[in-house]
């Protein structure tokens, strides 16, 4: 045996099939769109319109003091909805803080999905009920969790798939590397969806990565990378559904990069005009996910004023119910802050708990 015969010498996988196409994959407005199921397109449309209305309503609630903060996914609704709809009910979704729409589209109560952002009780919803992990604020920490869950499922013979969402900024975290490496080595049924929305707060792409695309990063881990137009809901849905299917069939993980744009500021607490040009925002406004789908639906005779009005009415009903329910005061016990943090609270946590209890008691007596 020479070194040439040892596993270290040659590439362990053929890189070529893993490489993404250089152009983001698109369906809407192309001849291939004629094959798309009208029922699916209408369902996607209803979700997109409701999703945008939800973003507007939640942002308004921050101004009314009912939400502490809201990171809107306006402009990114196609990624949000496609992610939720690409999964089966028994699969798991691992969202980041910007992915409330995906969480709601998966069936979580629209008010419960805002619990964390309202500063209320812990996660707010039961992750097991709809198989949606908590909305993760610490960047990329949801990715190793998704890999762990999917790995465990595989070991027990369960055919669930985990879909984990992360932003372009989140890819620079160590957790991203660890999750993708383990996922590929173990061939676990996970789909990673990078929503490349151009910014990590004020940090633009060229300061985030020197990679050709985020999808190219997949090759280094030994999994396929797919690049898709993140504002083309039909394309994102198809690419994710294929990746989910492959994962379920034992084909291992996929990294999908959806190229999109954050139309609003990072959150209601940010001023995006300080770090980006209006002309860039305008360019993306012309590539709006709802408008792209409306053009397709109209061209195929699937959208008239009646359908449009009924979808808008439906979204309005959802928004007013959300508004009404969010305008009630929650009864909260500040001591709940310390519940469910550790199975065995640390010494430091116990001290903080005692301190808060004493402060609350002093307040009551004053």
Ligand X SMILES: Cc1ncc(C[n+]2csc(CCOP(=O)(O)OP(=O)(O)O)c2C)c(N)n1
* Active site residues per annotation: 262, 266, 275
Q: How far is the CB of 169 from Mg ion (least distance, A)?
A: 5
Q: How many other C-beta atoms can be found within 10 angstroms of the C-beta atom of residue 179?
A: 28
Tell me which of 168, 229, 232, 296 binds Mg ion, using CB under 5 A. Answer: 168
80 binds, among ligand X, Mg ion, none (CB under 5 to 8 A by kind): none
Contact 156, 121 (CB under 8 A): no
Q: How far is the CB of 144 from ligand X (least distance, A)?
A: 13
**Number of alpha carbons in the 13 Å side-chain half-sphere of residue 258:** 33
176 contributes a contact to ligand X by CB under 6 A: no
Q: How far is the CB of 20 from ligand X (least distance, A)?
A: 19
115 binds, among Mg ion, ligand X, none (CB under 5 to 8 A by kind): none
- The residue with its CB nearest to ligand X is 167
Exposed, middle or buried, 247 (CB in 10 Å: 0-12/13-18/19+)?
A: buried
170 contributes a contact to ligand X by CB under 6 A: yes
Which residue's CB is nearer to Mg ion, number 187 or number 202? Answer: 202
Contact 171, 217 (CB under 8 A): yes
Q: How many other C-beta atoms can be found within 10 angstroms of the C-beta atom of residue 318?
A: 18
What residues numbered 260-289 form the site for ligand X, per CB under 6 A? 262, 266
Contact 120, 194 (CB under 8 A): no
Piece of 148-156, 167-175, 322-330, 335-343 that binds ligand X (CB under 6 A): 167-175
Tell me which of 20, 71, 124, 167 binds Mg ion, using CB under 5 A. Answer: 167
The values of phi and psi at residue 279, to 5°, are -65, -30
Q: What is the edge-to-edge ordering of all strands in the sheet holding 254-259?
A: 92-94, 162-167, 190-196, 254-259, 225-229
Element at 83 (helix H, strand E)? helix 77-85
Tell me which of 84, 111, 132, 139 binds ligand X, using CB under 6 A. Answer: 139
98 binds, among ligand X, Mg ion, none (CB under 5 to 8 A by kind): ligand X
Q: How many other C-beta atoms can be found within 10 angstroms of the C-beta atom of residue 92?
A: 24
Q: How far is the CB of 279 from ligand X (least distance, A)?
A: 20
In sequence order, the β-bridge partners of residue 216 are: none
The values of phi and psi at residue 92, to 5°, are -120, 140
Q: How far is the CB of 272 from ligand X (least distance, A)?
A: 11
138 binds, among Mg ion, ligand X, none (CB under 5 to 8 A by kind): ligand X
CA gap 36, 200 in Å, rounded? 34
138 contributes a contact to ligand X by CB under 6 A: yes
Which residue's CB is nearer to ligand X, number 18 or number 135? Answer: 135
The values of phi and psi at residue 335, to 5°, are -65, -20
Using DSSP's 3-state secondary structure scheme, residue 123 falls into coil
**What is the DSSP-derived secondary structure letter of residue 213?**
-
CA gap 216, 259 in Å, rounded? 13
What residues numbered 195-214 form the site for ligand X, per CB under 6 A? 197, 199-201
What residues numbered 186-205 form the site for Mg ion, per CB under 5 A? 197, 200
94 binds, among ligand X, Mg ion, none (CB under 5 to 8 A by kind): none
User: Position of tokens 């409701």?
Assistant: 50
Which residue's CB is nearer to ligand X, number 201 or number 283? Answer: 201
Element at 360 (helix H, strand E)? helix 347-365
Piece of 136-144, 185-193, 220-228, 351-359 that binds ligand X (CB under 6 A): 136-144
225 binds, among ligand X, Mg ion, none (CB under 5 to 8 A by kind): none
Q: Which residues of the shown chain bind Mg ion in the complex (CB under 5 A)? A: 167-168, 197, 200
Q: Which residues of the shown chain bind ligand X in the complex (CB under 6 A)? A: 98, 137-139, 167-170, 197, 199-201, 262, 266
């Amino acid at each position: 045996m020479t070194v040439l015969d040892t596993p270290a010498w040659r590439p362990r996988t053929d890189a070529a099939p893993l490489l993404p196409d250089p152009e983001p994959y698109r369906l809407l407005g192309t001849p291939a769109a004629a094959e798309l199921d009208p029922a699916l397109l209408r369902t996607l449309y209803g979700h997109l319109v409701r999703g945008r209305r939800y973003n507007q309503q939640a942002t308004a609630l921050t101004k009314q003091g009912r939400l502490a903060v809201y990171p809107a996914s306006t402009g990114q609704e196609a990624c949000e909805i496609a992610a939720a709809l690409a999964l089966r009910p028994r699969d798991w979704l691992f969202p980041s803080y910007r992915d409330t729409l995906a969480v709601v589209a998966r069936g979580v109560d629209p008010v419960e999905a805002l619990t964390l952002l309202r500063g209320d009780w812990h996660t707010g919803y039961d992750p097991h009920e709809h198989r949606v992990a908590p909305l993760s604020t610490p960047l990329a920490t949801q990715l190793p969790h998704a890999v762990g869950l999917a790995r465990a499922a595989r070991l027990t013979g369960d055919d669930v798939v985990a879909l984990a969402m992360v932003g372009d900024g989140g890819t620079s975290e160590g957790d991203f590397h660890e999750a993708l490496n383990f996922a590929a080595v173990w061939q676990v049924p996970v789909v990673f969806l990078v929503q490349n929305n151009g910014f990590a707060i004020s940090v633009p792409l060229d300061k985030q990565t020197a990679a050709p695309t985020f999808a190219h990063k997949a090759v280094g881990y030994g999994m396929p990378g797919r690049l898709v137009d993140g504002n083309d809901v039909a394309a994102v849905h198809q690419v994710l559904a294929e990746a989910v299917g492959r994962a379920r069939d034992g084909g291992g993980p996929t990294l999908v990069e959806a190229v999109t744009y954050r139309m609003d500021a990072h959150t209601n607490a940010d001023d995006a005009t300080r770090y980006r040009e209006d002309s860039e925002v305008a360019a993306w406004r012309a590539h709006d996910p709802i408008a792209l789908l409306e053009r397709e639906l109209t061209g195929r005779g699937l959208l008239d004023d009646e359908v449009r009005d009924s979808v808008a009415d439906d979204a309005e009903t959802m928004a007013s119910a959300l508004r009404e329910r969010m305008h009630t005061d929650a009864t909260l016990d500040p001591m709940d802050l310390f519940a469910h943090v550790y199975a065995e609270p640390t010494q430091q946590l116990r001290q903080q708990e005692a301190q808060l209890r004493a402060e609350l008691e002093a307040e009551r007596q004053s």
